């Protein structure tokens, strides 16, 4: 078993490889389980801040690929539903329109703010950075409470950009809130994503990183998904094995995949 449950095709605003080509790359990478999860950030969709995701067209292409490559690879027709709590009714509309095999719930920006990647963290005082990250955790908690997701994506998305700005962040002040988030995930039976894009980008850590994975484990968390967040063919499946090794070293022995509509735990 080798899985990559977070990738983007040309239907995402920031990627340009067709669905079928991404699926062929997944087969070539030796994956057994693979998800296409194009961006659908609800606030961007509702306010038309960028071209909307053509949900019907990508659904058709994902369905065609799923059928075409049946027996070679298990393709999940997914979506990365961003910032759900800003417009939960719209999120419902998206999820009611197509029976997605796999839904990632993600925070990319705080309400009314630009993407977390666009801040100049060097110019933001440490206390303010902590305030912003705390807000991100609240948004993640809101997404888990919303509930209609298969996994909670890259919970430390903002931290990635803080690190890229050559800054550090102490997670001790967030311990209680993280435990609340992890407790909710466990209560709602929702897995957490280990996003390895930061590993193949050479940053040397996953999202979330070891410290948080160990905390999740100590809270009783057992369910993880793994994805590369690839936006092009060359990174499909990249660093998944390294991600598995990290997960194992944190005390986990399996990851979640979905087969025939059912979530199953596969040993790693
Ligand atoms: Zn994302
Ligand atoms: Zn993504």
Rounded to the nearest whole angstrom, what is the distance from the C-alpha of residue 93 to the centroid of ligand 2?
20
Strand pairing category for 262-267 and 254-259? antiparallel
Beta strands in 108-219 (DSSP E): 151-152, 192-195
All domains in the chain, ordered by first residue: 3-267 (3.20.20.140)
Question: Looking up tokens 């979640």, which residue turns up?
Answer: 256
Question: Which ligand number lies closest to the CA of residue 13?
Answer: 2
- Asked if residue 35 lies in contact with residue 4, where contact means CB atoms within 8 angstroms, the answer is yes
Average pLDDT value for the chain: 97
Determine the straight-line distance between the first and last CA of the chain, rounded to whole angstroms.
8
| Structure tokens that stand for 19 in this block | 């669905």
Rounded to the nearest whole angstrom, what is the distance from the C-alpha of residue 193 to the centroid of ligand 2?
11
Band of residue 193 on the pLDDT scale cut at 50, 70, 90: very high
pLDDT cut 70: percent of the chain above it: 100
Rounded to the nearest whole angstrom, what is the distance from the C-alpha of residue 188 to the centroid of ligand 2?
23
82 burial via Cβ count (<10 Å: 0-12, 13-18, 19+): buried
Rounded to the nearest whole angstrom, what is the distance from the C-alpha of residue 192 to the centroid of ligand 1?
13
Rounded to the nearest whole angstrom, what is the distance from the C-alpha of residue 38 to the centroid of ligand 1?
9
Note residues around ion ligand 2 (Cβ under 5 angstroms).
80, 229
Q: Which whole number is the average pLDDT over 65-75?
A: 98
Rounded to the nearest whole angstrom, what is the distance from the C-alpha of residue 9 to the centroid of ligand 1?
13
pLDDT in tens, 84-117: 999 999 999 999 999 999 999 999 999 989 999 9
pTM of the model: 0.98
**pLDDT at site 33:** 98
Q: Which whole number is the average pLDDT over 165-178?
A: 97
Question: Which ligand number lies closest to the CA of residue 157?
Answer: 1
**pLDDT at site 141:** 98
Rounded to the nearest whole angstrom, what is the distance from the C-alpha of residue 6 to the centroid of ligand 1?
9
- Asked if residue 105 lies in contact with residue 144, where contact means CB atoms within 8 angstroms, the answer is yes
Measure the CA–CA gap between 42 and 89, rounded to whole angstroms: 9
Rounded to the nearest whole angstrom, what is the distance from the C-alpha of residue 18 to the centroid of ligand 1?
19
Rounded to the nearest whole angstrom, what is the distance from the C-alpha of residue 82 to the centroid of ligand 2?
9
**How many residues can be counted in the chain?**
268
Q: Which whole number is the average pLDDT over 11-32?
A: 98
**pLDDT at site 151:** 99
Rounded to the nearest whole angstrom, what is the distance from the C-alpha of residue 7 to the centroid of ligand 2?
6
Measure the CA–CA gap between 164 and 24, rounded to whole angstroms: 32
Rounded to the nearest whole angstrom, what is the distance from the C-alpha of residue 5 to the centroid of ligand 2?
10
């Amino acid at each position: 078993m080798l899985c990559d449950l977070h990738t983007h095709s040309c239907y995402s605003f920031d990627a340009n490889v067709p669905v079928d080509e991404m699926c062929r790359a997944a087969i070539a990478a030796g994956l057994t389980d693979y998800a296409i999860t194009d961006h659908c950030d609800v606030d961007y969709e509702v306010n038309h801040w960028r071209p909307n995701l053509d949900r019907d067209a990508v659904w058709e292409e994902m369905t065609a690929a799923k059928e075409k490559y049946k027996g070679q690879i298990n393709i999940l027709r997914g979506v990365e539903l961003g910032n759900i709590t800003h417009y939960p009714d719209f999120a419902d509309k998206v999820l009611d329109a197509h029976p997605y095999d796999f839904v990632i719930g993600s925070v990319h920006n705080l309400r009314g703010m630009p993407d977390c990647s666009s801040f100049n963290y060097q110019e933001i005082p440490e206390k303010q950075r902590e305030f912003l990250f705390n807000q991100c955790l609240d948004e993640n908690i809101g997404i888990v409470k919303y509930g209609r997701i298969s996994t909670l994506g890259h919970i430390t998305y903002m931290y990635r950009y803080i690190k890229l700005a050559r800054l550090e962040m102490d997670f001790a002040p967030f311990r209680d809130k993280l435990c609340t988030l992890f407790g909710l995930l466990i209560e709602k039976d929702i897995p957490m994503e280990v996003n390895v894009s930061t590993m193949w980008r050479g940053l040397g850590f996953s999202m979330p990183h070891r410290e948080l994975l160990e905390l999740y484990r100590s809270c009783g968390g057992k369910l993880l998904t793994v994805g590369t967040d690839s936006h092009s063919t060359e990174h499909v499946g990249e660093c998944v094995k390294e991600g598995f090794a990290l997960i194992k070293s944190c005390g986990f022995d399996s990851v979640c995949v979905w087969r025939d509509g059912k979530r199953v735990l596969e040993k790693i």
